[in-house]
Amino acid sequence: MHVDTEQNYILLYLQYTKDLLRDPIVDSMKTYRHHRETSTHYHSVYVSYCVLKLCIRLGVPDAKSVVRAALLHDFYLYEWYTEKHDENHIFYHPKASVKNIENHFGALSPMQRNMILSHMFPLCREMPQSPGAWLLTAADKRCAGEDYLHTSNRFRAVYDEINRRAVL
Ligand SMILES: [Fe+2]
Ligand SMILES: [Fe+2]
């Protein structure tokens, strides 16, 4: 597939994810603080948008399933700076995300489940087992680093456009 402008990437991204972005629980991710000053929603849209571009450029099959799993990789739905669990957030939140996704949206495919459970690789035990899983763990690290350095702000215009079009 040939996609060569930002607007075309945005349209393709919405084609893959619009129903999820319109879901009130996905929208609630805007209220959870993530990586100091961003939200889980902003971070997840940024990560999954980067994954979309990589999928298209590299010709990864089933890009829609990959991008949808990437959007929900941090669907853990709690305030991790203040809410503690028996296990450290690093190890706990991928499992919490899978549980929340399957409770809310139904079963993930084995490929999508592995993507989410392995996105903290190499810190977690689960290893990425597909091209999409490797792209997600790489994009997550890049975007998380940008969140802390505030350079992920450069995605703001695209993020706002995605949100504006998602509700049309
Ligand atoms: Fe995460
Ligand atoms: Fe993440």
16 domain residue, yes or no? yes
42 domain residue, yes or no? yes
- Ligand 1 centroid to Cα of residue 121, in Å, is 10
1 domain residue, yes or no? no
Tens of pLDDT, residue by residue over 120-147, are 999 998 999 999 999 999 999 999 988 8
Instruction: Give the pLDDT band (50/70/90) at residue 1.
Output: low
- Ligand 1 centroid to Cα of residue 73, in Å, is 6
Phi and psi based region of residue 35 (left: phi greater than 0; alpha: psi -120 to 50; beta: remaining): left
- Ligand 2 centroid to Cα of residue 95, in Å, is 13
Determine the structural domain holding residue 101 and report its residue range.
Answer: 6-77+85-166
Q: What is the pLDDT of residue 81?
A: 81
121 domain residue, yes or no? yes
Tens of pLDDT, residue by residue over 41-84, are 999 999 999 999 999 999 999 999 999 999 999 999 998 888 88
Nearest ligand, measured from the Cα of 92: 1
Residue 12 is part of a domain; what is its CATH number?
1.10.3210
Q: Provide the domain count of the chain.
A: 1
Q: Which residues surround ligand 2, an ion (CB under 5 A)?
A: 74, 140
Q: What is the pLDDT of residue 2?
A: 63
Q: Count Cβ atoms within 10 A of the Cβ of residue 92 and give its class: 0-12 exposed, 13-18 middle, 19 or more buried.
A: middle
- Ligand 2 centroid to Cα of residue 8, in Å, is 24
130 domain residue, yes or no? yes
116 domain residue, yes or no? yes
**C-alpha span between 87 and 150 (Å, rounded):** 28
14 domain residue, yes or no? yes
The model carries a pTM of 0.95
- Ligand 1 centroid to Cα of residue 48, in Å, is 12
Phi then psi dihedrals of residue 65, to 5 deg: -65, -40
**C-alpha span between 106 and 101 (Å, rounded):** 7
